[in-house]
Structure 1
Amino acid sequence: MTDTSDTRTADGAARAARPSPLHRLMRYLPLVAPVLLWAVPCWVLLHSGQHWPLPVTVTGTVVFVLGLVVMPLAMARGHGRRQQDAAAIVGDTLLGGSWILFTWSVLLGVLLRLALVLAGVGDGEERARIVAWAVLGVTAVVLAWGTFEARRVPRVRRIDVPLPRLGAGLDGLRVALITDTHYGPLDRARWSERVCEVVNTLEADVVCHTGDIADGTADRRRAQAAPLGTVRATRARVYVTGNHEYYSEAQGWVDLMDELGWQPLRNRHLLLERDGDTLVVAGVDDVTAESSGLAGHRAHLDGALDGADPDLPVLLLAHQPKFVDRAAAAGVDLQLSGHTHGGQIWPFHHLVRLDQPALAGLSHHGPRTLLYTSRGTGFWGPPFRVLAPSEITLLVLRSPHQKPEQETEPQTAP
């Protein structure tokens, strides 16, 4: 006699072990995506009815094929074991450029063509050429604008954040947030200096860096990161690791930030007191830390809050917004995060939202937890930002309790 329960259990385990169709599709995405990024614009610009002269069609097709071949090779040499900065610049630029060209090829290739048909403009060849020139023109403008947006010093975004448990003595506490500076193959030492100069104008009590300092080891990017040592805060400068630190010897970055005068909050907290009231400022390693295999690195919220009075308000630094589920369960008052870049290049934000609960700005989670997600101070990889402006954030913490105003003696004229 066969035990049917064991059979059902084995069948269920087998089904659980088999990847879902979505997971199977994701395996092939790194192979399919580059082909689409280059093939779709090639079709829209050259082969969808334009009837360009043969040399134009052949030359253009060869350019797209070269892009398809060079981009992954350059990225592999730039971000792989060799870490060749020149190759990384080429690969990253091609990746961003192809994404922008792909986006507008799809949008204009469908919407503009449909509008031309409905308006009765020209024949098929004329409409195809109008679409091609429109795609090239819009892409050129977006690339120029995106380059400017990525390289400029971020604007300051100020936001008041009400925290019901914040004591009156801490009302008006100024917290400056920078994150995702991503110092990398492009030397941005001067940009780094100017960012730090702007931060210093904010006269912040606490300055936070929530990770992804750079792409590359601390030794390689030291010159770009060095200006962080000039940042001023009246109370504390605190830092937590991001996922990119774990691609580039994270402990080296922890040591360098400590050397520059920042306090790495690696699953620990400090107490900030003012006028009789106290705020717990805590931090955790990035959620990817444990899988990095680096000894002692993991996201451990219980460790970060160990010994803290549970009645005190908590400000938590965690690189990725999705850590907010754990923060809300622990009753954290405010979590500061980065990681998303606001999508960086529109419309990539739709894909980011598949992985993160928030894209940018202030959001509510659980009964009392607020999450502020920064769009980031720098950029990753492709040197473009499109409809996702970078930011330096000034958060002013507000208490519902008002300190009694001091009475002043009336003055009489002499």
Structure 2
Amino acid sequence: MSTRTPAPPRPSARRRATFTAVLLVLTALLFWVPWAGLLAPSARWPWPVQVVGTAFFAVASVAFPLLLVRAHGRRHSDRASRAAHAMLGVAWVFFAWTLITDVLRLVLAVAGVDNPFRSRLIAVLLLVIGTALVAYGVHEARRVPRVKRVDVALPRLDAAFDGLTVAVLADTHYGAIDRTAWSRATVEAVNALGADVVVHVGDIADGTVEQRRGQAAPLGDVRAPHRFYVSGNHEYLGNAQAWLDHMTELGWTSLHNQHRVLERGGRRLVFAGVDDVTAAHSGEPGHAADLDAALSGTRTDDPVVLLAHQPSEIGKAVAAGVDLQLSGHTHGGQIWPFHLLVRLQQPVLAGLSRHGERTRLYTSRGAGFWGPPLRVFAPSEISLLTLHAA
């Protein structure tokens, strides 16, 4: 089967204009709201501070959209991507905390604290908080994920599988920043768990196999009796079929709307996987989430563990009688308070949740990061689930 990436349709002039307008509005908010927090005229900073600071924000607000287009346009420049995403992360942190410190600004005004002291106090506080959170966020994003251990009771699980361990990897997002050493260390952490099953529930990388082959190579060293993988939405930006094929080459079982049966003493446990929900509109032939196909041939009394990248698929899993769905995608919000926007799209942010009478959902915060190389109050994780017969 050919793994050539289909040519994406050319966007219309109206779509390009809409995208440009939205990008410019968001850029203005992300950069000029923090400017108002740090360099508000009411602070009456010395004119060199005001001029240099304003010039910095002006240059950054012009450079950011240009770098972003270069990073995600036809050139797919990794250098531009690193710069644009770093700027995005810093801008988001300062944007969010500018709004938060504005509440304190209002409190101080009501308390009778006058300017310029009030505005200068807020600016210094914002600078300290923002800088500290960016440094903390970079550290959290680049560290080897912590192991999160969770016990999961499944009513239909046979006692033969009681105690089965499943290590969950998600959202490694190998990308513009070379994280080959991080990838090796993460695989070592997975191997130290001695899990019976290791799964990767999608978003291996941002880019094609050719671009990220070196970073993904350590996944071939994962040790477990069973290794299962399903595609995430980001694979469909870089030829998902090639990633499915490459993971097969690395010794993983790619569950492309398929399932496999584990047996112990004549008892069965099904691991099924579906394409990401975005696959149907990706342009890749033969790709679309098809749960019926994934479960075709299973028995009605088989307990089923479903790999589906996005938690939003849980409704279909409940309707199909799935016992446990394993997902990622949310990153736990990645940079607080972005989790508030994630919850508008996804039913669960992270952790174990119950849906209907039978179905459980485990949502991993993911091992890596997407875009900005920061994680703020949303730590990365390798999840170790121990299944129990209830």
Compute the TM-score of the two structures, normalised by the length of structure 2: 0.93
1:255-266 residue pairs with structure 2 within 5 A?
Answer: 255-266=245-256
1:205-284 residue pairs with structure 2 within 5 A?
Answer: 205-234=196-225, 236-284=226-274
SS of the residue aligned with 1:49? helix
Residues 1:95 and 2:95 aligned together: no
Percent identical:
57
Q: Aligned partners of 1:26, 1:205: CA distance in 2, in Å?
A: 46
| Alignment match of 2:169 (pick from 178, 192, 198) | 178
Residues 1:355 and 2:339 aligned together: no
Q: Which residue of 1 aligns with 2:301?
A: 311
Q: Aligned partners of 1:310, 1:37: CA distance in 2, in Å?
A: 52
| Alignment match of 2:106 (pick from 111, 114, 118) | 114
Q: Which residue of 2 aligns with 1:410?
A: none
- Is this contact kept in 1: 2:40–2:119, CA < 8 A? no
| Alignment match of 1:133 (pick from 121, 124, 127) | 124
| Alignment match of 1:61 (pick from 54, 59, 82) | 54
- Is this contact kept in 2: 1:361–1:372, CA < 8 A? yes
1:3-402 residue pairs with structure 2 within 5 A?
Answer: 29-108=22-101, 110-121=102-113, 123-234=114-225, 236-400=226-390
* Deviation by residue 1:102-133 (Cα, 9 ceiling, x = unmatched): 1111111x222134335544x21111001001
SS of the residue aligned with 1:215? coil
Residues 313/64 of structure 1: CA separation in 2 closer, same or farther (3 Å cut): same
Residues 73/27 of structure 1: CA separation in 2 closer, same or farther (3 Å cut): closer
* Deviation by residue 1:215-269 (Cα, 9 ceiling, x = unmatched): 01011100000000000112x1000000000001111111110100001000010
Deviates more, 1:224-233 or 1:49-58: 49-58
Aligned-residue offset at 1:150: 0.3
Q: Aligned partners of 2:20, 2:62: CA distance in 1, in Å?
A: 20
Q: Which has more radius of gyration?
A: 1
Letter in 1 for 2:236: Y
- Is this contact kept in 2: 1:170–1:275, CA < 8 A? no
Structure 2 spans left out of the alignment, 5+ residues: 1-17
Aligned-residue offset at 1:70: 1.0
Structure 1 spans left out of the alignment, 5+ residues: 1-24, 401-414
SS of the residue aligned with 2:214? helix
Letter in 2 for 1:158: R
SS of the residue aligned with 1:140? helix
Aligned-residue offset at 1:385: 0.2
Letter in 2 for 1:104: W
* Deviation by residue 1:176-198 (Cα, 9 ceiling, x = unmatched): 00000000010000000000001
Q: Which residue of 1 aligns with 2:3?
A: none
- Is this contact kept in 1: 2:23–2:65, CA < 8 A? no
* Deviation by residue 1:8-61 (Cα, 9 ceiling, x = unmatched): xxxxxxxxxxxxxxxxx9996434222111111111211240111222212211
Letter in 2 for 1:242: G
Q: Which residue of 1 aligns with 2:11?
A: none
Letter in 1 for 2:80: A
Q: Aligned partners of 2:285, 2:128: CA distance in 1, in Å?
A: 51
Deviates more, 1:190-199 or 1:49-58: 49-58
Q: Aligned partners of 1:275, 1:136: CA distance in 2, in Å?
A: 62
* Deviation by residue 1:140-163 (Cα, 9 ceiling, x = unmatched): 100100000000000000000000
Q: Aligned partners of 2:283, 2:270: CA distance in 1, in Å?
A: 29
Q: Aligned partners of 1:79, 1:233: CA distance in 2, in Å?
A: 36
Aligned-residue offset at 1:276: 3.0
Q: Which residue of 1 aligns with 2:5?
A: none
Residues 192/127 of structure 1: CA separation in 2 closer, same or farther (3 Å cut): same
SS of the residue aligned with 2:278? coil
Q: Aligned partners of 1:115, 1:355: CA distance in 2, in Å?
A: 34
Letter in 2 for 1:175: V
Kindly report the root-mean-square deviation, in angstroms, between the aligned alpha carbons of the 2 structures.
1.4
Q: Aligned partners of 2:347, 2:125: CA distance in 1, in Å?
A: 35
Aligned-residue offset at 1:293: 1.0
Aligned-residue offset at 1:274: 1.6
Compute the TM-score of the two structures, normalised by the length of structure 1: 0.88
Aligned-residue offset at 1:76: 1.4
Q: Aligned partners of 2:264, 2:137: CA distance in 1, in Å?
A: 43
